[in-house]
Amino acid sequence: MKIPWKKVQEKIGFMIIRLATVLVVLILAYILYDIFKKGLPVINWEFITAKPRKGMTEGGIWPAIVGTFWVSIVTVIFSVPIGMFAAIYLNEYANKCRIVRIIRLAIRNLSGVPSIVYGLFGFALFTLSLNMGLSVISSGLTLGLLTLPWTVTASEEALKTVPMSYREGALALGATKWQTIRTNVLPYAVPGMLTGTILGLARAAGETAPILFTGVAFFWPILPKFPTVLFQQFMALPYHLFIMSTQHHEIVKVRPIAYGTALVLIVLIVAMNGLAVWIRYRLRKKYKRA
């Protein structure tokens, strides 16, 4: 029996788009494989916990890990409350008037602004105009602005998953709008908001362009105690990888360090992503049961 042409066509078509999918999976697999294969031999206790030595050709990356940690903390403290409050307004209070449409348009456009433009903006605003100088604070705030649209969107998604009946129940009993939100909406939405926050934070931790002019340093192994650290320059994992692969005077010699840095950065980000996915998974199960 002759196979009809359209069946052959279907086979070929599906094969092509299957190959496209395989390609996408292979790209990620190769990235992870290469970084793990060449990064793993470098990783040891010293690499994680020591400062760079001998013109950064030896030693570890501890200051870069600490720097990334503090910048992320500032980013979260700035961006999460604002993002949550904005999302509460958009999802709970706002009706479909013009100002709300403008806010939504602004949020979507903010998420498309190039990170280097945020960097320039943060430099002009925080570093120069507000006199924060080159510091963890300047960089953290710049990244906070960058992540703002993501936290708003993620928080709104979380609020949307709370069933309408939860709100109606409270309102019917005579609770005010705010009482309803506080007691019957937020408790159920917070874990979802947490997921979005972690995802946003993971992306912020890997950003380089916004911190380029606002505080990151080539070599800054000084690690002061808590408040002081916020007002100083810092090292960061992504920037460390950048200089180790393009700016260092002995690029080939420091390549293993670059691979090690890339591995630590990727593990950090994938772990945060994993955590977020796990929280979301737990959440879905909980809602299904409810």
Partner 1 sequence: MAKPDSITISIRKQAWLQLKEKLIEQFFFVHGLLAVIVLIGIFSLLFIEGFPALREIGLKEFFLSKHWDPTSFERESYGLLSMLVSTLMVTLGAMLIAVPVGIGTAAYIAEVANPKVREVVKPVIEILAGIPSVVVGFLGIIVMGPLLAKLFGTSNGLNAVNGSILLAVMSLPTIVSISEDAIISVPQDFKNASLALGATRWQTLIHVTLPAAMSGVVASVMLGMGRAIGETMTVLMATGNAPAIPGSFLDSIRTMTATIAIELGETVQGSIHYRSLFVIAFVLFIMTFLVNLVSDLVLEKYQKVNR
Site for partner 1 in 221-240 (CB under 8 A): 238-239
What's the closest the beta carbon of residue 25 comes to partner 1, in angstroms?
A: 5
Distances (CA, A) of 114 to 54, 109, 149, 208, 220: 36, 10, 13, 12, 27
Tokens of 163: 């069933």
What's the closest the beta carbon of residue 215 comes to partner 1, in angstroms?
A: 12
Q: Which stretch binds partner 1 (CB under 8 A): 47-55, 184-192, 225-233, 260-268?
A: 260-268
> Is the backbone of residue 4 left (phi > 0), alpha (psi -120 to 50) or beta?
beta
Answer for which of 120, 171, 190, 275 binds partner 1 (CB under 8 A) is: 120
> Which value, in Å, is the radius of gyration of the alpha carbons in the chain?
23
Binding to partner 1, residues 48-77 (CB under 8 A): none
Task: Decide: is 20 part of the binding site for partner 1 (CB under 8 A).
Answer: yes
Q: Within 13 Å and on the Cβ side, how many CA atoms surround 223?
A: 17
Answer for which of 207, 216, 230, 232 binds partner 1 (CB under 8 A) is: 207
Task: Decide: is 217 part of the binding site for partner 1 (CB under 8 A).
Answer: no
Task: Decide: is 242 part of the binding site for partner 1 (CB under 8 A).
Answer: yes
Answer for which of 64, 158, 241, 257 binds partner 1 (CB under 8 A) is: 241
123 close to 195: Cβ distance less than 8 angstroms:
no
List the beta strands (DSSP E) in 104-251.
Answer: none
Q: Which stretch binds partner 1 (CB under 8 A): 113-121, 135-143, 163-171, 185-193?
A: 113-121
Task: Decide: is 177 part of the binding site for partner 1 (CB under 8 A).
Answer: yes
> Is the backbone of residue 54 left (phi > 0), alpha (psi -120 to 50) or beta?
left
Nearer to partner 1, 109 or 165 (CB): 109
What's the closest the beta carbon of residue 192 comes to partner 1, in angstroms?
A: 16
**In b/e form, how buried is each residue of 12-47, taking b as 16+ CB within 10 angstroms?**
eeeeeeeeeeeeeeeeeeeeeeebbebbeebbeeeb
